[in-house]
Amino acid sequence: MSTGKSLKLLAKMNPMNTKLLISAAAASLIALATLSGCGTSPTNEQIGTATGAVVGGVVGNAVIGGTVGTVGGAAAGALIGNEVGKKQ
């Protein structure tokens, strides 16, 4: 799919769905960049932190909206994910 077709498809989507999709993609890229910096296999804490940040960012954006909701959700999700990862 070309970039032009992708942008037209995004323009046809509901603005809320587009915002959620972009937030999820951004959070996924941040998590991927974070985990790719590890020289060894990631620990359960690192996996929990990254997963929590992605899920928290998406949920925060959906519930609160805007940058504050996304960043706040990602931060809270990362903290919770880290704690869950420690227990496994």
Does 4 reside within a domain? no
CA dihedral over 41, 43, 49, 52, signed as positive or negative: positive
Residue 10 lies in a domain: no
Which pTM value belongs to this model?
A: 0.58
User: At 1, is the secondary structure helix, strand, or coil?
Assistant: coil
Count of CA atoms in the C-beta half-sphere (13 A) of 66: 2
Per-residue pLDDT of the chain (88 residues; tens, 9 = 90+): 555 565 556 556 566 666 777 777 777 777 777 666 666 777 888 888 888 888 888 888 888 888 888 888 888 998 999 898 888 7
The answer to whether residue 60 is domain-embedded is yes
Domain of 31, in residue numbers: 15-86
Let me know if residue 74 belongs to a domain: yes
Residue 30 lies in a domain: yes
Q: Side chain identity at 25, as an amino acid letter?
A: A
Identify the pLDDT of residue 54: 86
CA gap 35, 28 in Å, rounded: 11
Is residue 20 included in any domain, yes or no? yes
Q: Is residue 58 part of a domain?
A: yes
Total number of domains constituting the chain: 1
Structural domain includes residue 57? yes
Measured CA to CA in angstroms, residue 55 lies from 4, 35, 45, 83 at distances of 29, 16, 15, 15
